[in-house]
Every structure is written in C-alpha cells, then in structure tokens.
Structure 1
Amino acid sequence: MSIRLPSADGSYRLYQPNTDPFTPLRCGPARTRILYSAAHVVADPLAASVEAGPAVDWDASLAFRRRLWNQGLGVAEAMDTAQRGMGLDWPTAAELIRRSATEARALGARLVCGAGTDQLASGAPHSVAAITAAYEEQLAHTEDCGAGAVLMASRALCAAARGPEDYLEVYGHLLRQSSRPVVLHWLGPMFDPELAGYWGHHDLDAATDVFLQIVAEHPEKVDGVKVSLLDAEREVGIRRRLPAGVRCYTGDDYHYPELIAGDGAAASDALLGIFDPIAPIAARAALALDQGDPAGFRELLDPTVPLSKHLFARPTRFYKTGVVLLAWLAGYQEHFAMVGGLQSARSLPHLATAYELADGLGLFPDPELAEDRMRRLLSVYRVAS
C-alpha cells in the first residue's frame, strides 16, 4: 500500500514503503575506528510548566543511549544534537551528563560529554575571566562524573574575544588544568551563526592556524579534535597537521564515509549527529572495516549520505528536528515533540522526504509502524495520505 507524500513544490507523490528493514544488531565497539554518535534527548511532552526548565524524559533518553551502545557506538552526550544552546539549558545538561555517565560506567561503554559556557546569560557581555570560569565549572562537572570532555565552542567567547590571543589564553588555561585529555570542537557557523569568526578570524586559513597552535602547545592534553565545518578538504588538511597521537573526529555530516575510510595515509574517527538515526547501518559499516573490507564499508555507508544531506540542509542547525522525527517513526520514542517546541522548525515536505529516505534505507525496524505514524503526522496537517 502506498502513502501520499507532499513535495516542496506543492505537489504530491506516491511512495511505496520498504518491507525489508535492517534486523536488530548487537555488537561491541569497532576496533579500527572510534565512532561516537551525538545523541538527541527525548522531551517530556506532558511537562506542566515551561518556567521549570526543559523537561526531559529520562527513561526514554537513556534507553536510546543504551541502544547506541549496544550497537557498538560510543555516545557523545549533551552536544549540539541534544539541543545544547537550542532548548537544553546547563542545569538539565548537567543532569543528563550525570545520568549518562552512570549508565556508561555500568556498561563499560564509551562516553564523552560537552563542556561549554552556556550557563552564562545570552545576549549579555561577559569578561574572558567569567567565560573561563564557566568553562571550568562544566569541565569539572564532566570529569567528576567520570566522563571525557568535549570543549565546545562558546558563543560568549566568540562575542568577547578581542582576537586569537584570548582563545589561546582560555583554551591553554583549560588544557593545563584538565585531568584527562579532551576533545576540542570547532563548530562552524552553519551549525550556529553566533560562532562566525571563531578562533579570532573569519578567514578559515588563519583560524585553522590558531586552532592547530592550541593543539600543538598541549598535545598531551588533547585526545582529538572534532571538525564540524562540512568541508572535507579542510578537514583532511587539519588531520595531516595534527601531532602524533591526536585524533581527528569528523563532524562532517556531508562527507563522513570518505573521511572515515581515509586516504591511505590517515583516516578520521567520527563524532556525528547523523549516527543517531543511521546507527544500525553505521554499526555494520564499522564491522566491515574491522574485517578489512573498505569496499563493503562504503557500500553500506555511502547510500546514507542523501539522507544526511537532507537532514542537515540549511538552516543546518535545525537538523535535530529530522533526527527526532526518525526516532519517533522508528518506535524509539512515543511522540514527536522536542524541547522548546523545535519539532516545528522544519516544513512538512521536509519531514516527508526524511521519512522516505530513511525508509528506503531500511532504518525502521517496523515499517508498518513508521508508515502509520507518518500518516498520523500528515493528518495533523489535513493531508490525505
């Protein structure tokens, strides 16, 4: 039975749902690459008060993380995919980190967590000292929970920095005091427009030099860098200039298959938001690499790129809406609601295409459930399906 889906041009198309989904997979972590999935949060749609702060369904959120761990993926917690800075505030993020760290310890699973400065009031000026103190608070909380830290790009620092010297001072201070190696995250303005000019330069070559200077001055304190610029050539250039032992975690949701596969000389590990919805395929692709089958790796992962490019289409920062939609359609949560009402950030035709692309990949364990839920979503908009 076909389903009638709306297109961006106002027309409709008939789509025949897939009947051959991927079977459930349970496996250990990959041996040849370190792969983290940035995980979304499941909102509590029945929260009584917005004033009380973001309402998270802890049970459903943690169950989703266990699903990722069971498929051999690490979890990157309280990152951009979890609506950090777009609905998830620091007190809620801190609790999310604490709970996920407890779960990860019990399972012996990989976990890194975002440490930033988002407890500082937005839209207000802050001193470099205050920004450093905010970073210190979040870094200490993450390390106290027993998790590795990802030093996230800071809107406050981007607004306050007088030039590259302020970035060198803040990051140098944090790296000197961190108790374990961290991941440095360069999040491009396509993900967050308030981060334009990060590292003290709008010119990307100059910004890259500052970024790599920080790494070069503290290589023993940097586990790796996460590069989220959607620019494969620049990421490869950065990867080639990293000190020995410092990993490059791709955050490029457009070019991840080629970057993870590598160029013969080196390869990227990964910390990706797209791994949230495509985990069953990513896990199988990682196993192919472990088995010395790079062609099989690409055969599995390359077909997921159109879905990823669709989800991460401009405005890129709203990709989380599609990620949560697919989790609901897959049966991993019981509703399509997001913290801060972000489920409204994408159009119905965009969501319909996300459903079609994901279903075509076999990402819904129960295709009939996914079809039924998509029909119900269409009916809310009075679209006869």
Structure 2
Amino acid sequence: MALTLSLPVPAGGLQAYTLQGSTPVRPVAGKNTVAFNRIAYSAAHVVADPLAVVDPWVNCAVDWDATIAYRRHLWSLGLGVAEAMDTAQRGMGLDWPTSLELIRRSLEAAKDIPGALVASGCGTDHLLLENVKTVDEVIAGYEAQMAAIEKLDGKLIVMASRALARVAKSPADYERVYDRILSQAKQPVVLHWLGEMFDPALAGYWGTKNVDAAMDTALGIIKAHPAKVDGIKISLLDKGKEIAMRRRLPSGVRMYTGDDFNYAELIAGDGQGSELFHGQSDALLGIFDAIAPAASAALGELAQGNIDTFHAILGPTVPLSRHIFAAPTRFYKTGVVFMAWLNGHQKHFTMVGGQQSTRSLQHFAELFRLADAANLLEQPELAVQRMNTLLALHGIEH
C-alpha cells in the first residue's frame, strides 16, 4: 500500500507526496565479509538528552547510551568513526570537557568491536578566543588536548583552530604551530582543513585567503613531517582543489575527502596520481552519518570492482547531501540529526544547543523527498509518522 502525506512546497500551500515504494538501501555485505579498498570515516553526531534539566542554548546534555549505540551502528556497517568533530557540534554547542568524555566513551566501546576505527578531534576550542593573544598560547592549547586524547590511546585528527586563525600574522605562524604538534605526535595524525563555509571564523586559514597559496603552506608542513601525517581532510566543497592537492601529497599520505558535494566521484577517483591512492580519495565525511547504509553498500561494491553499481547506489545520495549542506553550511548538522530521527536511530528531534531550529519546514520537506528518492528511508512507515509529527508542530495537521 502506497504511503502518502501532504508536504509544503516552495510555491505555497501543501501538495500530496507519495513515497516511491522502493526497497531501502542496505549493504548486501559490509566490511565483515568484504574488505573496503578505501578508508571511510563517518563524522558522527551526538544525541541530545531532551529530559536533562539544562538551558539548551547554554549547556550541553548528551544521551550517552543513544550516542554510543549510533557509533556501534556505524561500525557494524564497516565505517570508522571520526569522533568529536563538527558533525558532533564540536565548538558549536559541544564543549571540550563533554567532547573528551565522548572520545573516552567511543574509544572504550570500540574495544569490543574487531577492526573498529576511531580517530578523535584535537583542537583548541577550550580557549576563550578573546583572551588568546599569542601563537604560543595556541600551541599550549593544542598540546593540552593532544595529551588528554593520547592518554586514552586515541588517534588524532588535528582540527583547524579558530584561535590560530585569530592570532596568526603569516603562514610562518601556522608552520610553527603545526611543526611543534606534528613533531611530538605519538602516531600519524589526520590534518583537517575546514573551509569558512563550514566555520566563518576559519577564513584565511594557513595565513592567506588565496586557496592555492594556502595549499602550498599546508603541503610544505606535510612534506616536512610525512611520517607523522596519515592524511589530510579538506572541506572546501571544491573538487578541483582536492584533486590538485591529493596529486601533490608525499608518498604514503592520504587525501580524505571532506567534500559533501562531490564525494562519490572523488572516492571513485581518476587514477592519475603518482601512486595508487593519490588518484583517489579516502573519506572522512559528515554526510556518511546520514547515508551510512548506502555508503557501506557502495564501498563494498567498489571494493569488488563494481564501479557502475557503486555510482548507482551513491549517486542518488548526492542531491540529498547538497541539500543538507546548503548555505548556511554550518547548519548541516540539523539535517543529519533529522535523518537519524526519521530512521528510528533516536527517539526525538532535539539537538544540543537547540539547533533543530536552524532549518525551515520547507527545508525538512525537501530533505524528506530527497531521502526517499535516494532509498534512504529505512523504515518508511515510521518516517511518514515522524514527518507528520513535525508538520503538526508547525500547524499542519491531517
């Protein structure tokens, strides 16, 4: 029996929408039986605790059981977890003490799962920006978080620093900070270049607003410490820049795509690098949280050489991702959590910082349609029920 509901449309009013009725995407075989030929991290969201006695705009309260359960779901699909990143609202509602607790709990849970990958965000977000005056203070900030994560035997993702962007006067300041951090890292790290569309406070990162010049600085830092860099994730939403940079990386250093607009073709690759994985991108993506079953299924097909099937599965998810990450891009977390709620991975649509309010009902209606088109509504009846609940909250009752 067809499922139909009334959704708002941009022209005004409501319009009947009937779900296409296709089978939701599920991996035929996850990493337990098919070894992926790409490393794939999902930057995972946190589940808020809606019953906590807090002021949501001021304090963060996390439902730890639901949050860790979602990570177990990602691991079961063969995906790694990039922990305490911007998808988890790091620096955008989730403070450093809670982030460290999240990292601790995630690393502890991963011990029970053979092959489970976890890499954890290391930054300077515990510093009060207005109080930071020198590069040395930024270095000390990074070192404090580094020590805390490495004490837990965690692998580091060295996140871009708002404090560094604030006080650095030249590319040389970035070189000094990263040289210091990389020289003392206990194991190879993933660097993270997050564009200003994700965080306006990071404009001009690497000491310049010229992306090509910034890339030269980042590559210089990597080439000075190739044994300490597992890879770099760039989130610039510019596939040409990513391809250009991955071809210039030192041997053994990976490109982790953070391009939530063009990930399918970047992961598939063009094979034109100087070595195998410089002609393709691995993945560290926020959208993989929302499309985890499709990501797993597609990567399994790619590993078996079924490139057409890979694109057939992942291609339809790209319009959904472009919508979720539409400007203002920093609000993409709302769409990710909305998908988790629609698909029954959490009981409510409440977010840390009250960020469920950052997108409009029109945005959610289009997201629902695109998720259906991509075969990503895992429990269609439940998704319709929950979409109708959201509509009722906005005064649309059936």
Provide TM-score, normalisation by structure 1: 0.97
Q: Do structure 1's residue 334 and structure 2's residue 347 form an aligned pair?
A: yes
Counterparts of residues 307-326 of structure 1 (less than 5 Å): 307-326=320-339
Contact kept, 8 Å, 1:65 with 1:75, in 2: the verdict is yes
Matching residue within 64, 75, 78 for 2:70:
64
The equivalent residue for 2:61 is 55
Moved more, 351-360 or 45-54: 45-54
User: How far apart are the structure 2 equivalents of 1:220 and 1:39?
Assistant: 27
Alignment size in residue pairs = 385
Counterparts of residues 198-217 of structure 1 (less than 5 Å): 198-217=205-224
Contact kept, 8 Å, 1:21 with 1:367, in 2: the verdict is no
What amino acid is aligned across from residue 31 of structure 2 in structure 1? Answer: G
Per-residue Cα deviation, 1:293-318 (whole angstroms, up to 9, x for no partner)? 11111111111100000000000000
The equivalent residue for 1:27 is 30
The equivalent residue for 1:106 is 112
Moved more, 43-52 or 227-236: 43-52
Q: CA deviation at 1:322?
A: 0.6
Amino-acid identity (%): 55
Matching residue within 219, 244, 264 for 1:257:
264
The equivalent residue for 2:276 is none
Contact kept, 8 Å, 1:254 with 1:308, in 2: the verdict is yes
User: How far apart are the structure 2 equivalents of 1:76 and 1:148?
Assistant: 10
Contact kept, 8 Å, 2:132 with 2:138, in 1: the verdict is no
The equivalent residue for 2:46 is 41
The equivalent residue for 2:85 is 79
Matching residue within 350, 373, 383 for 2:363:
350
What amino acid is aligned across from residue 79 of structure 1 in structure 2? Answer: M
Contact kept, 8 Å, 1:4 with 1:384, in 2: the verdict is no
Structure-2 change in CA distance of 1:122 and 1:11 (3 Å): farther
Contact kept, 8 Å, 1:8 with 1:350, in 2: the verdict is no
Matching residue within 14, 17, 30 for 2:16:
14
Moved more, 6-15 or 289-298: 6-15
Contact kept, 8 Å, 1:21 with 1:361, in 2: the verdict is no
What amino acid is aligned across from residue 206 of structure 2 in structure 1? Answer: W
Q: CA deviation at 1:139?
A: 1.4
Contact kept, 8 Å, 2:26 with 2:297, in 1: the verdict is no
User: How far apart are the structure 1 equivalents of 2:30 and 2:89?
Assistant: 28
Q: CA deviation at 1:185?
A: 0.4
Matching residue within 144, 155, 165 for 1:137:
144
The runs of 5 or more residues in structure 2 that have no matched partner are 273-278
Structure-2 change in CA distance of 1:285 and 1:224 (3 Å): same
Q: CA deviation at 1:125?
A: 3.2
User: How far apart are the structure 1 equivalents of 2:163 and 2:192?
Assistant: 15
Q: Do structure 1's residue 296 and structure 2's residue 309 form an aligned pair?
A: yes
Moved more, 48-57 or 144-153: 48-57
User: How far apart are the structure 2 equivalents of 1:181 and 1:7?
Assistant: 49
Q: CA deviation at 1:23?
A: 6.0
The runs of 5 or more residues in structure 1 that have no matched partner are none
Contact kept, 8 Å, 1:40 with 1:320, in 2: the verdict is yes
Per-residue Cα deviation, 1:213-264 (whole angstroms, up to 9, x for no partner)? 1101000000000010000000000000000000000000000011000002
The equivalent residue for 2:275 is none
User: How far apart are the structure 1 equivalents of 2:290 and 2:133?
Assistant: 37
User: How far apart are the structure 1 equivalents of 2:96 and 2:43?
Assistant: 17
User: How far apart are the structure 2 equivalents of 1:9 and 1:45?
Assistant: 34
